[in-house]
Amino acid sequence: MAPSTAYVACVYLKAIMQAAVEDKRLYRNPCKGNSSIRPPKKPEHRARAWEQEHVDAVRKALADCYRTRLDLGAGGGLRQGEVFGFSPGDVRGDFVHIGRQVPMHKSQLYFGPPKVGLERDVPLPKVLANRLLAHQERFESIDIAVPWLDPEEPDLARENRRKVTVPLLV
């Protein structure tokens, strides 16, 4: 496992301070000795999927219009931003094509490529397909026009980005 960026920065700072002591620019190294700089602790446990009873309880507590979001995450394995960017047109037979997400950049929502630019197809379980169809019958898709966040142009102003219109289901 690679060390965290913060830990590497602390080690680097300690070395710089030691060089300043050796050059007689500092009396002592404030990063040396009984320092509060420590490597980060390992997490106590890895993230685990919810038990089915927990998913069912949360689903039951949600309003009808929001239940599909939980279904896509728990039943389809979509990440939060991918759920928010889901469109009925993303269903392709027995698969859901993940080609966009809704990230937040500088407190603004955008459409953008999935995490690490990894477009993929995920299996669509029959139960999830039935729930998506039931949701579509009850709730109409809404066309949303949002700028596209291109990772290759992170500093481009929002108004200069191309707008993408997508009919979102949730």
Residue 15, domain extent: 1-35
141-157 pLDDT, tens digit each: 999 999 998 888 878 88
Per-residue pLDDT band for 11 (boundaries 50, 70, 90) equals confident
User: Which SS3 state, helix, strand or coil, does residue 94 take?
Assistant: coil
pLDDT attached to residue 35 = 59
Q: Are strands 95-98 and 104-105 parallel, antiparallel or unpaired?
A: unpaired
What would the mean pLDDT of 88-101 be, rounded to a whole number? 93
Helix (H) or strand (E) holding 96: strand 95-98
106-142 pLDDT, tens digit each: 888 999 999 888 899 999 999 999 999 999 999 999 9
Residue 94 has pLDDT above 60, yes or no: yes
Residue 63 has pLDDT above 90, yes or no: yes
- 46 in any annotated domain: no
Single out the residue of 76, 60, 168, 82 nearest to residue 126, CA to CA: 76
- 113 in any annotated domain: yes
- 152 in any annotated domain: yes
Q: Say whether both 84 and 118 belong to one domain.
A: yes
pLDDT attached to residue 105 = 84
14-58 pLDDT, tens digit each: 888 888 888 988 888 877 766 566 777 877 777 788 899 999 999
pLDDT attached to residue 133 = 93
- 159 in any annotated domain: yes
Measured CA to CA, the distance from residue 110 to residue 1 in angstroms comes to: 33
Which residues of 102-160 form beta strands (DSSP E)?
104-105, 108-109, 120-123, 142-147
Q: Say whether both 22 and 93 belong to one domain.
A: no
- 40 in any annotated domain: no
Structure tokens at 121: 């197809």
Residue 1 has pLDDT above 60, yes or no: no
Q: Say whether both 101 and 22 belong to one domain.
A: no
Q: Say how many domains are in the chain.
A: 2
- 43 in any annotated domain: no
Which of residues 42 and 98 earns the better pLDDT score? 98
Residue 84 has pLDDT above 90, yes or no: yes
C-beta neighbour count of 138 within 10 angstroms: 10
- 31 in any annotated domain: yes
Residue type, 15: A
Residue 99 has pLDDT above 60, yes or no: yes
Beta bridge partners of 121: 97
pTM of this structure: 0.70
